[in-house]
Amino acid sequence: MEIYLPLIFLCIAFFYSAIGFGGGSSYLALLSLLITDFNEIRSTALILNVVVVGIGTLLFIRHRVFDWKEFWPFIVFSIPAAFLGAQVSFSQKIFFLILGALLILAALFMLLQSLQEQKEEGELPKFKRAGLGSSIGFLSGLVGIGGGIFLSPSLNLLRWKNARTIASLASVFILFNSLAGISGLWISGNLNLLFDRLLPLIFAVGIGGFLGSYLTNKKIKLKWIRRLTAVLVAYVGLRLILLHAFGLHI
């Protein structure tokens, strides 16, 4: 399977980046099949997240979708929370059970979001943005993903701004939280990267991330990509729970 991993990761990066995500949850699940070192799995997934959403963030800024005045409460309060979450230590089994449960919940929100009709945009006070950002930031650092997979569906269900604005926020949110998570792993001595394995994956997700982000910024309707991504996220979450709780492979 390892020789096909770059191609698989390219496809994952494409689907996730098309809706403003980095793909960290699926990277974690696939890497867990090949790598025994728990910290290498988390470290690699966060690096790949940075590559994908870094490209997406640059494209959103170029197309003037990014709005710092609206985004800063989410981001500023999420960074220290993600840093602290990344330093929490627990067993690999508990880690994947928590991740699996969170992914199934996120997939449910994503499906509800895709079925929801577009309605008038609402406001979200700064203190609520700060609270949402910090709580999701902590979960992001805890499980080693950027958090956009939780933030974006929540904001869409709250009808805060349009889908492209939320996707651009998700990208930059993942970028900063992934960097904070990497810093937390490094400070705690748990950052572990094998560059022979990492470099081909960086190249692959870079291509996939660019193509997916390009589609988003071309204002192409991505409803079915959202639904397919939600199904993929649900499968990853269910697989993690069945494997690590019951030893079942699906």
For 158-192, how does the pLDDT look when each residue is reduced to its tens digit (9 = 90+)? 888 887 888 888 889 999 988 988 998 898 888 99
Please provide residue 237's backbone torsions phi and psi, each rounded to the nearest 5 degrees. Answer: -65, -45
Higher pLDDT: 122 or 201? It is: 201
Report CA torsion sign: 51, 129, 180, 90. negative
Say whether pLDDT at 125 is over 70: yes
Q: What pLDDT sits at residue 201?
A: 96
Confirm if 153 and 109 have CB atoms less than 8 A apart: yes
Q: What pLDDT sits at residue 215?
A: 78
What type of residue is 125? Answer: P
- CA-to-CA distance for 209 and 23, rounded, in angstroms? 9
Distant-in-sequence, close-in-space partners of 109: CB < 8 Å, separation ≥ 6? 150, 153, 154, 157
One DSSP character per residue, 88-124 reads ----HHHHHHHHHHHHHHHHHHHHHHHHSPP---B--
Q: What pLDDT sits at residue 167?
A: 82
Confirm if 60 and 171 have CB atoms less than 8 A apart: yes
- CA-to-CA distance for 142 and 139, rounded, in angstroms? 5
Say whether pLDDT at 6 is over 70: yes
Confirm if 26 and 16 have CB atoms less than 8 A apart: yes
- In the chain, what are the domain boundaries? 2-116+126-246
Confirm if 207 and 92 have CB atoms less than 8 A apart: no
Higher pLDDT: 10 or 37? It is: 10
The predicted model scores a pTM of 0.85
Helix extents (H) in 116-162: 126-143, 148-157
- CA-to-CA distance for 102 and 149, rounded, in angstroms? 10
CA distances from 91 to 101, 178, 196, 219 (A): 16, 21, 26, 42
Query: Above pLDDT 70, what percent of the chain?
Result: 94
- CA-to-CA distance for 120 and 158, rounded, in angstroms? 11
Confirm if 119 and 158 have CB atoms less than 8 A apart: no
CB atoms within 10 A of CB 118: 9
